[in-house]
Amino acid sequence: MKKRSKSILAVCALLALTVALSGCSGDKASDSSQIIVGIPQDLEDSLDPHVAVAAGTKEVLFNIYEGLVKPDLDGNLVPAVASEYAISEDGKTYTFTLREGIKFHNGNPVTVEDIKYSIEKCADTSAGEPLVEAYSAITAVNCIDEKTVEIVLSEENTDFLAYMMTAIIPADNENPDTNPIGTGPYMYVSRSPQENFIVKRFDEYWGEPASIENVIFKVCANADTIVMDLKGGSIDMYARLTSAQVNELGDSFHVYEGTMNLVQALYLNNASKPFDDIRVRQAMCYAVNQQEIFDLTFDGKGTEIGSAMFPSFEKYFIEDLKDVYNQDIDKAKALMKEAGYEDGFSMTITVPSNYQPHIDTAQVLVEQLKQINIDATIELVEWSSWLSDVYANRNYQSTIIGVDAAELTARALLDRYVSDADNNFTNFANEEYDTLFDSVIVTTDETEQVKIYKRMEEILAEDAASVYIQDMVEFVALNNKFEGYEFYPLYIQDISRIREVK
């Protein structure tokens, strides 16, 4: 009987251990409204809105932070921390009026000093380049009085307002990396790495308050179990589902269909052989059939783009560009022959292994490229290898990825094709393009500006900078208990609009 008493002892010890370890048990009131939102990866990032880089972090932080202006559903910039703004005639001075009575999550009122601090923090050049590149044009941030801030630029820039989405944070927060304080509809409560990120409604929010009180962003690292998680009730909402997943869901969910606001393309390293030859790039564009990709991997859904712009940016999007290269194998073969690659060549498509839609796309592309004797192999790499090898060091042949826009302006998508841009990871170079870009940022007339941006998109299409594929379809599943999900033209999730079904 010794054995049994030993096992009992062990069980007791274990229970004592777990009870002791659990320490504080924070029971939540069950009557308050709560939603659990599944996210594919944790916010493995700083929570400082100016330092955070991952798109997955930013889309969550959107609920906590606000800039002087913020985007609305149609992609317009509306006043947020500032109640109004004025742009001087010469486009060099931006004046913002601080919203009356607006408070930070810690209860302190927002002051013009906080605005000055936030802008200057992002414009600081002591680390080489400013956090927000466009801020290198700022010459001064002046506090005119207790509610007016003036931002002076060295050269006129009509697009600058789009960059004023930069979050305003309190100057006296010592740990913005781990203790986020903003002015948004939700305030930070706690986080547990690889488990969850919890926010709570901010009751003193200046605008329309959020409907649901507690929001738990739950990390669902295992993509195969997301449908199970939704059906089992361990999460109430999940964005960016595949059509296969949506089909498995059943009818206890609202499914919203939108677009991801990404430029998905087979990006070609224009500096590497044979992609330095425009004829090869064009041939590849002629070989690809976007509709076939949609049919085989996205249940027939997707939006062809034809250039580096997605349709949500209505003002700048040119629908016709999708027809510049319709699939034409003969033409493609002729171009290949002309370029001296009649017998084709082998190439590598580097794809980050954590993005299934890109992998699926790559598999279809491999087959399509075979038709013009191109032997493509897919190389799956970890995300951090992708960032260092492909993006930072540009040491690759081709890659499939979706590029998003950080700001509500065409510049956010098009500035990466300027030949000496730091983020020009495709090494695209076109003199006309560079000249146009230089002129567009100083153009004050909006119609003229849109015209130039459109011309730039045309150049990208004509030069076949890369093989542009699509803006991917996005499905969001929301449990029937909730409603009100809305899509933005940017990569963000606005939880404050979601409400319980009464």
Partner 1 sequence: MKYVVKKISMLLLTLLLVSFLAFLAFQIIPGDPAVKMLGTQATPEKLAVLREQMGLDRPMLFRYAVWLKDFVTGNMGTSYSYHMTVGSMLSGKLPITLTLTFLAFIMIVMISIPFGIYTAKYKDRRISKVLNAVNQITMSIPPFFIGVLFTYFFGLILRWFIPGGYISYETSVIRFIGYLIFPAIAIALPKAAMTTKLLKDIILEETKLDYVRTAYSRGNRTNGVLYHHVLKNAMIPVVTFLGMTLADIVAGSIIIEQVFSIPGLGRLLITSISNRDYPVVQAIIVCIAFIVILINFVVDIVYRILDPRVRGQ
Q: Which residues bind partner 1 (CB under 8 A)?
A: 3, 7, 10-11, 14, 17-19, 21-28, 41-42, 44-48, 53-54, 127-129, 177-178, 192-195, 219-222, 225, 228-229, 232-235, 382-385, 387-389, 391-392, 422-423
Q: How far is the CB of 206 from partner 1 (least distance, A)?
A: 29
**CB distance 267 to 400 below 8 Å:** yes
Q: How far is the CB of 216 from partner 1 (least distance, A)?
A: 11
10 sits in which H/E element: helix 2-22
Q: Which contacts qualify for 131-136: CB closer than 8 Å, 24 or more apart? A: 131/50, 131/51, 132/50, 132/163, 132/166, 133/422, 134/159, 134/160, 134/163, 134/411, 135/163
Please, which residue, 219 or 408, has the CB nearer to partner 1?
219
Q: How far is the CB of 477 from partner 1 (least distance, A)?
A: 15
Looking at the DSSP assignment, which residues form a beta bridge with residue 293? none
Please, which residue, 413 or 452, has the CB nearer to partner 1?
413
Q: How far is the CB of 54 from partner 1 (least distance, A)?
A: 6
Please, which residue, 196 or 270, has the CB nearer to partner 1?
196
Q: How far is the CB of 252 from partner 1 (least distance, A)?
A: 15
Please, which residue, 23 or 107, has the CB nearer to partner 1?
23
How far is 466 from 307, CA to CA, in rounded Å?
8
Q: How far is the CB of 499 from partner 1 (least distance, A)?
A: 24
Structure tokens at 166: 């930069």
Structure tokens at 417: 């094709």
Secondary structure (3-state) at 445 = coil
Q: How far is the CB of 11 from partner 1 (least distance, A)?
A: 6
Q: How far is the CB of 47 from partner 1 (least distance, A)?
A: 7
How far is 442 from 438, CA to CA, in rounded Å?
7
Secondary structure (3-state) at 27 = coil
Cis peptide leading into residue 274 (ω within 30°): yes
**CB distance 164 to 16 below 8 Å:** no
8-state DSSP, 326: -
Nearest in space to 463 (alpha carbons), one of 286, 331, 316, 281: 281
Inter-CA distances, 463 with 277, 345, 404, Å: 10, 20, 21
Beta strands 345-352; 374-381: pairing state: parallel
Q: How far is the CB of 9 from partner 1 (least distance, A)?
A: 11
Q: How far is the CB of 254 from partner 1 (least distance, A)?
A: 21
Secondary structure (3-state) at 85 = strand
**CB distance 472 to 492 below 8 Å:** no
Please, which residue, 107 or 232, has the CB nearer to partner 1?
232
Please, which residue, 168 or 390, has the CB nearer to partner 1?
390
Please, which residue, 26 or 107, has the CB nearer to partner 1?
26
Please, which residue, 140 or 223, has the CB nearer to partner 1?
223
Q: How far is the CB of 60 from partner 1 (least distance, A)?
A: 14
Please, which residue, 63 or 196, has the CB nearer to partner 1?
196
How far is 479 from 238, CA to CA, in rounded Å?
9
Please, which residue, 219 or 308, has the CB nearer to partner 1?
219
Q: How far is the CB of 25 from partner 1 (least distance, A)?
A: 6
Please, which residue, 124 or 155, has the CB nearer to partner 1?
124
How far is 136 from 130, CA to CA, in rounded Å?
6
Dump the DSSP string for 202-257: -TT-SSSPPS-SEEEEEE---GGGHHHHHHHTS-SEEEEE-HHHHHHS-SSEEEEE
Please, which residue, 286 or 425, has the CB nearer to partner 1?
425
Looking at the DSSP assignment, which residues form a beta bridge with residue 37? 217, 237
